[in-house]
Chain A
């Protein structure tokens, strides 16, 4: 379990019974091959990147947790007087009008991607996973938005959604008739409007990941199902989908992480206000951009962290299982 490198050893062994002995002898030999100089190089090669990762990623993660129990403003040292216990969380849950809407928007984002965009991406992958004229063109087009930055995606969709100068309202004749729909300004609909834009990008991403997974399915399984008289959809649901279970989990996790990271689109459209509040935007607005409520902002960061840990742990256990 702790040693991923052993997984290759049995494959190299000629007889299964010899595999165990071979691994052990190899491992011992490998260590003796390393000089002290080599060991020092090994420590530096891993140590430098690891130190940077710990200082700039994991240090701040822990600092966020600790700061969430303080009322620190970001200036001067943190002293015992700054410790306020759970007060930030209390304010967050009971006294801050933007928290629950933001959480709800994050969950809607997650649900929309999980139940609408991701299945669409999977569906396109299934459609394209066959010999098909022009398959490469279809694939390239669906994937194209993935290479664009969310900032650019935001601007491109502003051109569609603009109240009096956007494509949709003009094409529907709403500007002429004076019944303008403010797609991005109306808090009842703007979240869904930008979710369409986010999906435009997300669907292609999922399609590519799922296509790669479908390619790894053993073709003989499908052949067997075909011989047994299964239709294409029967084959997919009862043969392909169960085999793809590990990849399905990864797809769901990737979707969840994307949804929790959502920031750019909402920020570009209206700085995450008026219907587009998200946890990620509240963190920066409270602690950096507008106020200096570092402790309070950190408490929001902790909530986001706790939600993110679910998919992250799921991903790690799945991925590391295939590694070992």
Chain B
């Protein structure tokens, strides 16, 4: 968006046009807002880099004598942060892939073919995603406690153990259960975005592929999905962040602290390992770094995904 504006700006630039006072006021205001916006995060970074001893001797708001990464090292090793990153990955990676697969199937069928209920189906998915999760949590919790799931041992890598498929014979307190609810809940959102996107693909492509003898699965996978690459990339970025940032599902549907993904593990770690503010700051920032990296690297996709989903197709 702004990349389009940039090249046109240079020739007309400030040299020819005198800078108006209103422009300066605008920049002053926006700069002040930017500083205000960055402050909480900057303060967290400052606190995280400061040893607690330095804070105690000099006061919380004071010039630091020492800054180092000790708090990060302590959080990383004592609280076992890498372990929780792995928990997150185990949940988020299959979650994003499965969501995109299921949602693209529904979107494909609803946007490329006309049948009686396709609008109803789209509405069921879209509305389901808009419900507050707390509305469904009580019966969902019961379903999870009463759904049997086979226990076939586990895959162990070092300290880490991933049960196949359950270690207590239930859907409750399992990675698989969290993946499942993420996939089902986010499929609603992704279906809506993708079907809006697929509507811009002419149906003649599907029709001619059908005439050529391809079946629906082949058309979905080989013809339509490649055309949706931009939307899929945007959605993958967004879904990664949604699932990474989830706090609620993991809080209720997981019981074992060691299975928690990083975002909801923070809450437990707070009392146990993060005994002072500087350690809490370091732990929180460690949890915040992956989505920030994704955002900085894939900002365009991120914004595209949000606007595709919320305003129009």
Contacting pair A263 B134 (CB below 8 A): yes
- With A46-B105, A171-B61, A304-B135 as given contacts, are A34 and B210 in contact (CB-CB < 8 Å)? yes
A124 in complex: contacting residue of B27, B33, B43, B294, CB < 8 Å: B33
Complex Cα gap A288–B248 (Å): 13
B311 in complex: contacting residue of A4, A49, A250, CB < 8 Å: A250
- With A5-B114, A127-B26 as given contacts, are A152 and B60 in contact (CB-CB < 8 Å)? no
Contacting pair B130 A312 (CB below 8 A): yes
Tell which of B132, B202, B216 has the most Cβ of chain A within 10 Å. Answer: B132
Question: Is A33 an interface residue when CB atoms closer than 8 A count as contact?
Answer: yes
Contacting pair B199 A8 (CB below 8 A): yes
Contacting pair A257 B106 (CB below 8 A): no
Please provide the chain A residues from 229 to 260 with a CB less than 8 Å away from any CB of chain B in the complex: 247, 250, 254, 257, 260
Contacting pair B44 A213 (CB below 8 A): no
Contacting pair B216 A53 (CB below 8 A): no
- With A60-B140, A283-B137 as given contacts, are A135 and B2 in contact (CB-CB < 8 Å)? yes
Contacting pair A208 B303 (CB below 8 A): yes
Interface of B toward A, CB cutoff 8 Å: 1-3, 5, 8-9, 14, 26-27, 29-30, 33-34, 37-38, 40-41, 43-44, 47, 55, 59-61, 102-103, 105-106, 108-116, 118-119, 121-128, 130-143, 180-181, 183-185, 187-188, 191-192, 196, 199, 202-203, 207, 210-211, 215-217, 220, 241, 244-248, 251-252, 263-264, 266-267, 270, 277, 280-281, 283-284, 287-288, 291-292, 294-295, 299, 302-303, 306-307, 310-313
Contacting pair B220 A45 (CB below 8 A): yes
B287 to chain A, nearest CB (A): 6
A152 in complex: contacting residue of B30, B135, B266, B277, CB < 8 Å: B266
Closest to A52 in B: B184
Tell which of B26, B59, B284 has the most Cβ of chain A within 10 Å. Answer: B284
Complex Cα gap A321–B100 (Å): 25
- With A4-B199, A144-B37, A144-B295 as given contacts, are A53 and B128 in contact (CB-CB < 8 Å)? yes
Q: Is the interface of A mostly helix, strand, loop or mixed?
A: helix
List B contacts of A213 (CB < 8 A).
Answer: 311
Complex Cα gap A38–B187 (Å): 23
Contacting pair B143 A56 (CB below 8 A): yes
Contacting pair B203 A30 (CB below 8 A): yes
Contacting pair B277 A37 (CB below 8 A): no
Contacting pair A149 B245 (CB below 8 A): yes
Contacting pair A167 B132 (CB below 8 A): no
Please provide the chain A residues from 23 to 71 with a CB less than 8 Å away from any CB of chain B in the complex: 26-27, 29-30, 33-35, 37-38, 41-42, 45-46, 48-50, 52-61, 63-64, 67
Contacting pair A288 B216 (CB below 8 A): no
B140 to chain A, nearest CB (A): 5
Closest to A268 in B: B267
List B contacts of A186 (CB < 8 A).
Answer: none
List A contacts of B267 (CB < 8 A).
Answer: 151, 267-268
A189 to chain B, nearest CB (A): 18
